[in-house]
């Protein structure tokens, strides 16, 4: 598992460590290679490779397995949490704490000594039409209400964002892709410091809100093409049509995903370029030699 692929599970580990009162600053992470744990600094995360506690070793601390292979042959004074990957506790090995398996594979030999064994069986994801329709309606209620409010009171904000989308789609797409990726990486790495976890979560929520705000602006653009006089009603109708188009795009393999991604980054960039709709965006032009 690469560092990029491990980021979501590392965030989960950081939250678990914070809730458990551990010290994230002492956390070590293994991504690849073969490693032997002779000592443990409070928390160790196995994200890849092979990690083993040898038969003649006694280590203290908590172990999180989010990838790779972990083998306990000696004594581990602490808890083991398996979020992904593989864990093996051999015969005559000892884990004084709890071995909790949330996902992944855990094999505990009959002769192993484990304080407590716990397993979580997550519910299987459902792709039923009813669930999809309910999710669509919930998103439409949230974004549609925002569209009604903005269309009624602050339609100029949506028009400025829409101008950036239609007239400067390429610039908005580049800005949106760079900004979204940079902010995502920044907020994820901020989460590695326990004190900044609330700020990191707030930042990630903020990115989601920007995407929803851009969907309102897209709905405004669609609504203006409809034969509806009232701005707020046209915006709500446009939001519904735009969200329905996104759902239909999800049914198209590969191409549909690319189009969805393009719409997200263009909308994200348009919101930022227009300062959240407060002013109309016009790219900076370089004057030619005549001073024009």
3-state secondary structure 188-207: HHHCCCHHHHHHHHHHHHHH
- Residue finishing a domain among 95, 119, 143: 119
Q: Which residues of 147-158 are buried (b: 16+ CB within 10 A; e: fewer)?
A: bbebbeeebebb
Report yes or no on 187 lying in a domain: yes
Task: Note the pLDDT tens digit of each residue in 24-42.
Answer: 666 788 888 888 887 766 7
Q: What is the CA radius of gyration of the chain?
A: 25
Domain shared by 58 and 135, yes or no: no
- Residue finishing a domain among 119, 141, 163: 119
Task: Note the pLDDT tens digit of each residue in 147-163.
Answer: 999 999 999 999 999 99
- Residue finishing a domain among 60, 84, 119: 119
Residue whose C-alpha is closest to residue 194's, from 17, 72, 73: 17
Q: Tell me the pTM.
A: 0.63
Look over the chain and give the mean of its residue pLDDT values, rounded to a whole number: 85
Domain shared by 151 and 194, yes or no: yes
Question: Rounded CA gap, 109 and 106, in Å?
Answer: 10
Report yes or no on 196 lying in a domain: yes
Tell me the mean pLDDT in the region 252-274: 93
Domain shared by 222 and 245, yes or no: yes
pLDDT at 70: 92
Given a cut of 80, whether residue 22 has pLDDT beyond it is: no
pLDDT at 123: 57
Tell me the mean pLDDT in the region 213-236: 94
Given a cut of 70, whether residue 125 has pLDDT beyond it is: no
Given a cut of 60, whether residue 3 has pLDDT beyond it is: no
Domain shared by 86 and 210, yes or no: no
Tell me the mean pLDDT in the region 262-274: 95
Residue 227: band (very low, low, confident or very high) from pLDDT cuts 50, 70, 90: very high
Report yes or no on 151 lying in a domain: yes
Domain shared by 134 and 107, yes or no: no
- 269 in Cβ contact with 245 (< 8 Å): no
285 or 72, higher pLDDT? 72
Least confident segment among 122-126, 156-160, 215-219, 232-236: 122-126
Domain shared by 139 and 183, yes or no: yes
Task: Note the pLDDT tens digit of each residue in 61-110.
Answer: 888 998 889 999 999 998 999 988 899 999 999 999 999 998 888 999 99
Residue 132: band (very low, low, confident or very high) from pLDDT cuts 50, 70, 90: confident
Report yes or no on 288 lying in a domain: no
93: left (phi over 0), alpha (psi -120 to 50) or beta: beta
User: Based on the structure, what is the number of domains in the chain?
Assistant: 2
Report yes or no on 278 lying in a domain: no
Kind plus residue range of the DSSP H or E element containing 167: helix 155-167
Domain shared by 220 and 265, yes or no: yes
Report yes or no on 68 lying in a domain: yes
The length of the chain in residues reads 292
Residue 19: band (very low, low, confident or very high) from pLDDT cuts 50, 70, 90: low
Residue whose C-alpha is closest to residue 32's, from 7, 51, 56: 51
Domain shared by 225 and 199, yes or no: yes
Instruction: Compute CA 243 distance to the chain's CA centroid, rounded to the nearest angstrom.
Output: 21
Report yes or no on 124 lying in a domain: no
Domain shared by 51 and 147, yes or no: no
Domain shared by 37 and 85, yes or no: yes
Domain shared by 145 and 240, yes or no: yes
Report yes or no on 137 lying in a domain: yes
Given a cut of 70, whether residue 290 has pLDDT beyond it is: no
Domain shared by 151 and 186, yes or no: yes
Q: 95 is in which domain, residue-wise?
A: 3-119
């Amino acid at each position: 598992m690469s560092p990029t692929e491990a980021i979501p599970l590392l965030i989960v580990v950081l939250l678990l460590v914070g809730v458990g009162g551990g010290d994230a600053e002492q956390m070590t992470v293994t991504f690849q290679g073969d490693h032997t744990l002779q000592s443990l600094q409070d928390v160790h995360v196995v994200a890849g490779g092979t990690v083993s506690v040898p038969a003649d070793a006694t280590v203290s601390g908590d172990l999180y397995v989010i990838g790779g292979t972990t083998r306990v042959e000696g004594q581990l004074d602490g808890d083991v949490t398996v979020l992904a990957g593989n864990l093996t506790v051999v015969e005559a090995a000892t884990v004084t704490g709890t071995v909790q398996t949330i996902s992944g594979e855990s094999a505990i030999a009959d002769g192993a000594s484990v304080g407590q064994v716990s397993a979580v069986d997550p519910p299987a994801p459902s792709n039923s039409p009813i669930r999809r329709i309910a999710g669509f309606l919930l998103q439409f209620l949230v974004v549609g209400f925002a569209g009604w409010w903005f269309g009624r009171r602050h339609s100029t904000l949506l028009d400025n964002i829409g101008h950036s989308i239609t007239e400067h789609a390429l610039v908005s797409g580049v800005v949106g892709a760079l900004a979204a990726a940079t902010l995502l990486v920044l907020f994820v790495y901020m989460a590695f410091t326990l004190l900044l976890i609330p700020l990191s979560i707030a930042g990630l929520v903020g990115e989601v809100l920007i995407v929803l705000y851009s969907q309102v602006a897209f709905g405004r653009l669609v609504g203006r093409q409809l034969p509806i006089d009232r701005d707020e009603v046209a915006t709500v109708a446009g939001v519904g049509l735009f969200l329905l188009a996104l759902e239909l795009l999800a049914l198209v393999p590969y191409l549909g995903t690319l189009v969805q991604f393009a719409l997200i980054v263009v909308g994200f960039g348009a919101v930022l370029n227009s300062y959240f709709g407060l002013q109309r965006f016009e790219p900076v032009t370089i004057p030619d030699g005549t001073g024009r």
